[in-house]
Amino acid sequence: MFSLKKKMEEIRERFSQVNQQLSDPKMLQDIEKYTALSKEHATLREITVQIDRWQELSEECQSLKEVIASGDPELEEMARSELEEAHLNQQKLERKITRLLVPADPADKNNAILEIRAGTGGEEAALFAGEIFRMYSRYADAKGWKIEILDESPTDLGGIKEIVARVQGEGVYGVLKFEAGVHRVQRVPATEAGGRVHTSSATVVVLPEISHDIQVDIDPDDLKIDVYRASGAGGQHVNRTESAVRITHLPSGIVVTCQNERSQHQNRAQAMGVLKSKLYERQRLEKESKLSSQRKSLIGSGDRSEKIRTYNYPQNRLTDHRIHFTSYRLGDFLEGDLDELLEALMEEETAQKVAEA
């Protein structure tokens, strides 16, 4: 059974050992070992700083309890208020330390490839897909992330049949990976004259962008590459040159396209990046098929059967079915205020990893 206090003691002890080893001049003779220890030291130091703060709060709580026990009526009320605040801060810190202790997916720190497709519901589904993309765009703006559209299929009414975008920023994939799955909307469509509530959906897929430290091998003989004239925005250049690229990975049947860059070379590079992400995700899903069904449900594959969330407009309600999260601030979420929900999902994943440790 996982014990946070015991784990914190072990971290402190290991941090002390690594410090001693790094201070030994002989360690410089083994550069490979010295480099590995230096990386471990940096990781342990980050956790130890939080553990030290947790210890300070523990001592503060003990002191406040002693003040309350002293029976001084003038100090007791103030001490109780400070004790409650100290307890809350300590609980927040415990959650943060627990998250730092759980081994992270190496791809969590990477950029992400975000794909959104209209599901059931025709034009209303396409309009909803566009609103979902705008929701993520607003969230990205608030986080200081950059969104670059790689491929887009808009509709005449302003919706989106499909959009593929690259989201750049520190730790983007580790945050957005929880968004994969089917998002369902319940509302009266703008195209509905009778005022009836309809149910439509959009499918979200989130893939990690493959960085140099993640190995994904692709045999060139397994690829079928087609070029064609791009469509959409971009001026006359788009219509006169075959700059759009479609890559088919024959063994898996995965097809990726990119047409938003001005040159065929750029579009090919972007499409290859998306293909690597899709193949990496396929490997991840095969690996995680051994995990508990509960944990697998948190980070979905974007499969059409995985309904993860419902956006109910008449009741201004958002419900995430994986963690039984319900909020009546739907408007705020659609404006990109996703922190509360994503934090809850991250905490649930951490709890499940700890339970499996």
Q: What is the pLDDT of residue 232?
A: 55
Angstrom distances, CA of residue 341 to CA of 139, 175, 276, 344: 12, 11, 29, 5
Q: Which of residues 299 and 189 earns the better pLDDT score?
A: 189
At 300, the pLDDT band (50, 70, 90 cuts) reads low
Q: Is residue 161 a contact partner of residue 129, using CB atoms and an 8 Å limit?
A: yes
Residue 238: is its pLDDT beyond 50? no
**pLDDT band per the 50, 70, 90 thresholds, residue 235:** very low
Average pLDDT of the segment spanning 214-229: 87
What's the rounded mean pLDDT across residues 186-209?
87
Q: How far is CA 10 from the centre of its chain?
A: 29
> pLDDT tens, 39-89?
899 989 989 999 999 999 999 999 999 999 988 888 888 899 999 999 999
Domain ranges of the chain: 4-101, 112-214+291-356, 220-286
Each as own residue / partner, the long-range contacts of residues 251-260 (CB below 8 Å, 24 or more positions apart, any chain) are 251/222, 252/279, 252/282, 254/278, 254/279, 254/282, 257/151, 258/150, 258/151, 258/164, 259/151, 259/230, 259/231, 259/232, 260/149, 260/150, 260/151, 260/152, 260/230, 260/234
- CA 73 – CA 70 distance, rounded (Å): 9
For the chain, the first-to-last Cα distance in angstroms comes to: 8
DSSP codes, 277-335: HHHHHHHHHHHHTTS-HHHHTTS----TT-EEEEEETTTTEEEETTTTEEES-HHHHHT
112-214+291-356 against 220-286: fold identical: no
pLDDT at 166: 94
Reported as a pLDDT band with limits 50, 70 and 90, residue 265 is: confident
What number of other Cβ atoms are within 10 A of residue 154's Cβ? 15
Confidence of residue 106 (pLDDT cuts 50, 70, 90): confident
What's the CA gap between 85 and 288, in Å, rounded?
A: 39
pLDDT at 191: 67
Above 80 in pLDDT, residue 293?
no
Give the lowest-confidence range in 262-276, 302-316, 321-335. 302-316
Q: Determine contact, residues 298/348, Cβ cutoff 8 Å.
A: yes
pLDDT at 167 over 80: yes
Beta-strand pair 160-168/223-228? unpaired
**φ, ψ dihedrals at 225, nearest 5°:** -115, 125
Domain at 220-286, CATH class: alpha beta
Highest average pLDDT, of 65-74, 130-139, 196-205, comes from 130-139
Res. 339: pLDDT tops 90: yes
pLDDT value of position 165: 95
Helix, coil or strand: residue 62? helix
352: β partners: none
- Mean pLDDT of all residues in 218-228: 90
Cβ atoms of residues 206 and 277 within 8 Å:
no
Third-level CATH fold of 112-214+291-356: Alpha-Beta Plaits (3.30.70)
Is 1.20.58 the CATH classification of the domain at 4-101?
A: yes
Strand partners, 146: 168
Average pLDDT, the chain: 86
Residues, the chain, total?
Answer: 357
Q: How many CA atoms within 13 Å lie on the side-chain side of 112?
A: 26
Return the closest-CA partner of residue 261 out of 273, 252, 276.
Answer: 273
Q: What is the pLDDT of residue 211?
A: 72
pLDDT of residue 281: 81
In angstroms, how far is CA 6 from the centroid of its own chain?
Answer: 29
The larger pLDDT score, comparing residue 102 to residue 295, is at: 102
The predicted pLDDT at position 129 comes to 97
